[in-house]
């Protein structure tokens, strides 16, 4: 699932899909924590998942706000078009 997200991040050019791939990767990491927690009979895994969930929510809100701003600026959601920081 992490690899799937990473591939999506690298291949997709649409900003929304890039964000979604990011979410997929986060969830992959969270799933790994939960699985590891149940394997070793520890509650830590689930606690960390809650943290990841909260962080993901915050990240998405910031990310979407940025997406709105970027759309305003470039009139497109293509990440490759936003290469103004080219050296």
Partner 1 sequence: MAWLWLIVMLPLMSALVLAVLGTHFSRRVVAAVGVGSIGLSSVITMLAAIEFVSAPPVGRAYTQVLWTWINVGSFQPHIGFYLDPLSLVMILVVTFVGFWIHLYSAEFMMHDEGYSRFFAYMNLFVASMLTLLLADNLVVLYLGWEGVGLCSYLLIGFWYRDPMNGLAARKAFIVTRVGDTAMLLGLFLLFTSLGTMQIQDLMRRATEDWTVGSTLAVTAALLLLGGAVGKSAQLPLQVWLPDAMAGPTPTSALIHAATMVTAGVYLVARTHALFELAPAAQFVVAVTGAATLILAGCSALTQHDIKRALAYSTVSQIGYMFLALGVGAWSAAIFHFVTHAFFKALLFLGAGVIIEALRDEHNIFRMGGLSKQLPVAFWTFLIAGCSLAGLPFLTAGVYSKDLIIWSAWAAAQGHPAFWIAGVIGALLTSLYTFRLIFRVFFGPIQTPVTKRPGYVMTVPLVILAFFATIGGWVKEPLILLLQSTLPMTIETEAAGMTETFSEVVVALVFLSGLYLAYLFHLEKRELAEGALRNPVARMIHAWWFADWGFDWLYDRVLVQPILWVAQVNKNDFIDAVYTGIARLTEAMYRSLRLTQTGLVRWYAAGIAAGSVVFLAMVVFP
Q: Identify the residue among 4, 13, 37, 44 touching partner 1 (CB under 8 A).
A: 13
Q: Whole-number minimum distance, CB 31 to partner 1, in Å? A: 18
Binding status of residue 80 toward partner 1 by CB under 8 A: yes
Q: How far is the CB of 19 from partner 1 (least distance, A)?
A: 12
Give the count of residues interacting with partner 1 (CB under 8 A): 13
* C-beta separation of 16 from 81 below 8 A: no
């Amino acid at each position: 699932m992490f690899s799937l997200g990473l591939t999506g991040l690298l291949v997709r050019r649409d900003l929304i899909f890039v964000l979604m791939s990011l979410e997929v990767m986060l969830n992959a990491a969270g799933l790994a924590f939960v699985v590891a927690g149940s394997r070793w009979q520890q509650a830590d895994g689930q606690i960390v998942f809650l943290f990841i969930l909260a962080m993901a929510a915050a990240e998405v809100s910031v990310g979407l706000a940025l997406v709105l701003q970027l759309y305003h600026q470039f009139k497109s959601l293509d990440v490759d078009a936003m290469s103004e920081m080219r050296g």
